[in-house]
Structure 1
Amino acid sequence: MNTNRNRNVSPKPRITLSGTDLERLFQVNGTQSVPVLAKRTGVSYMLIYNIIHRRVRSVSYRHYTRLFGGPPPAQAPLKVDGRMFRNMVDLWLYLNDGLTRADLFRELHGLPASHKVDHRLFNGKIKAVNGKLVHTMQQKFAQAGIDEPLLKQWLDEFSALSPASRVPYTQIRPTLVYLQEKLDLHPTSVLKQSVTRYESGALKSVPIHIAEHAEALRKATENVLQTDSRMDMDRLRASVLGGKNGYTLYADIREALKFVIDNGGRGAKYFLGRSLWTYEQGNAKYIANWRVRKILDACDAIIRQKPTLALSVLPRSRQGLHVRPLLDVLNGRTSQLLCQKDGIDLEKQILRPSHRRDEYGNPYHGFTPFEMASQVLGMRRRAFDLMVTENREIFRSVGRFSQRWYLSDLYLRELSGKENFKLVLAKYEWMARHRHRRQPPPGTCFN
């Protein structure tokens, strides 16, 4: 009878001992002597010895009561409902395009890239998760400038969106067959897992982003086939399969190589170590990086020796390098004009809000933390700070302070849509690169 009764009683969880608990143990008993503690508490000598030397990190409820003379304080549960954790994961993956659940799982647990992933943590088969995972996810958002109230608001808004649908495998199968025939791309590379699982019926649908990616590849392949460019086909395959470590795709260096051969007086074999025919026929697709560096160095030497060469003759990879100084001059002149009175008036007109002040304070439109606004506008942080400092009265009118400064999403969308804003952006980007002065502390303009 007693045995059956004991089976119905759920065992009490073990109590974790911290360094503070160990100090309290010595204070309660007035000694650090292992034999004395064992005699006073009635706990075995070896257990106390292992606790003191941190070989035992937790004890049973009964032993805790004996050691400290009373029950343990109420502790936060180690396991919590996993719904909030999964909602934060979905939002984080939505905001960080290209990141996968597998990447996030290994990051949260500090595991190497080859470690197996437990997908039950994300699909809801594990109902309760470790509370530390929830805290870690909250910290990741906090480090990105999203505090707890804003995170809650974003989670509510994200949950209101329609969930990402899946597409039946039979629907995209013809696209996969087409890519394998025309692009020589195995379906597994597109599906990100073995195609056998789909062909056998073990899996019946694919995520919508995989289906959209496959369809985009099909359209890109059709466009390349119309131009009949094998080099573009190689680039397209490499964009899916990834490059070869220590090597560069021949298609990416072909233009510079042709320029060097036409203007440098040396044949392809000097740079490639083999005939050009091998690469042009597709028998070799990659060139060692040290050979690529040799080609580019020769290309730069020819440009220095022949400064009268037309810009259109240069390889596209080198055109940007020689256009950039000209653009810097133009940006610098534009910045000078915008710093004059007429330019400042134009800048104020561009930045002037189009709505009433209370409209920008409406929570319906949402808010962005001040330190993240530069990313929304496509500016460097220093350039954004300079712009706000020079136009503090405007940004104060569209800002909101709640433990930290926020800018209205309505204003940021409005600003990004103004074509003339590019002039203001160019001005402060140029100033950020060339003005050597101490950067004002973040948020100074609002005080």
Structure 2
Amino acid sequence: MRENSISSESINKFQNNLSENKTSDIIRRSVSKNGILASSTEIQSDELMKPVFSVEVSEKQDVPNQKQSGRCWMFAALNTMRYDLTKNFGLPADFELSQNFINFWDKFEKSNYFLENVLATANEPINSRKVSFLMQTPQEDGGQWDMLCSLIEKHGLAPKSAMEETFNSEHSGQLNNVLNTKLRKNAKELRKMVADSNSNDEINAKKESMLNEIYQILVYALGKPADKFDFEYYDKDHKYNLVKDLTPIDFYKQFLNLDLEDYVSIINSPTDDKPFNDTYTIEMLGSVVGGRSVKHLNLEIEEMKDLAIKQLKDGESVWFGCDVGKESDRQKGIMDTNLFHKDELLGADLSMSKADRLNYGESLMTHAMVLTGVDIVNGKPTKWKVENSWGDKVGTKGYFVMSDDWFNEFVYQVVVNTRYMSDEQKKNQQKEPKMLDPWDPMGALA
């Protein structure tokens, strides 16, 4: 075993090297007083990231607020869908689809999905990597596009008026803690039943009882999802409309003019284990048992951007996943690789390639938002308009500006309609996906 502790001689050398740097005291005073980010901010980024775009989705809508919850993926997806509703029915800018309706069924379906994975791994040691991965977070707020499609296809959609937000939907920590405690306890009981050779009927009956308790918890915390509701609205001709006794499936089919099967996930993962033009799925990742599987087509970044631009030019917004915390200013609403110069300030090389950041745990998809515009100069994108879900007090009334270089480095996924894809891309998207490990970065939940 290699043992090489830090010697006094090394420390003295480091101190001498620093003392020879004539600017070290200036940098120390600035960083210790103001912090690394403020001391390294590039003010020119503010000028270059002005919210002006040559291509924008025409419909305007207010930016919702996910508050203290990790539901960005469903907010972003529902935001893309309400653009379609606004365009077709003339709904007001503050109209929202019910995030809590999807949230309820997401947590219920994820609980069942977790219990099924517990049974599938019941004969593995409790300290195996897969079982440890499962127990780390039985369920959480985050998700991916294909998971949302499965929820909508099974349970439908509802306007926010049919199921409003609750304290627990907007502040999800308490509910998540209770659910995960309950699910870990359930996991122990199910693993013991398998070890004791209980019959499938006995195990299924026990699981049914567990799901009954979970449903009860969710109703208490989030409210009961509506079976039927009335939908009243003024259309684009200012005519009053009332549609009575809609089921969530009826509402989805009648008011959402889209086929979710046409929308596919495109990723950019330039790592050696994921050749471009192949498809990938992730083991144990999903929500609805028997629903749509998570499937990604891995493309070069320029191909990904080209598809997003085609969809935007056609007047349709684009759901995307990224690592929002990197090189971004939440309050200003700027995401730009030129925003901070931490390496120059600190005299340290912090550069890593996109592939290396993925391989070494430096970055992965953490947040989902909506592309609603792009600025194209001399045929090339320079910056992108982004609708966030953090309310209207950040950015420009909730909208952010993302530089094209930031897109290159920190955007990992977009969802596009297959009509914008080339024949070759469509062919590649139909390939049988390679199964990735549950902990692969492309399985991260936004």
What TM-score comes out, normalization by structure 1 length? 0.21
- Greater CA radius of gyration, 1 or 2? 1
Higher relative contact order (CA 8 A, sep 6+): 2
Higher share of residues assigned helix = 1
Higher share of residues assigned strand = 2
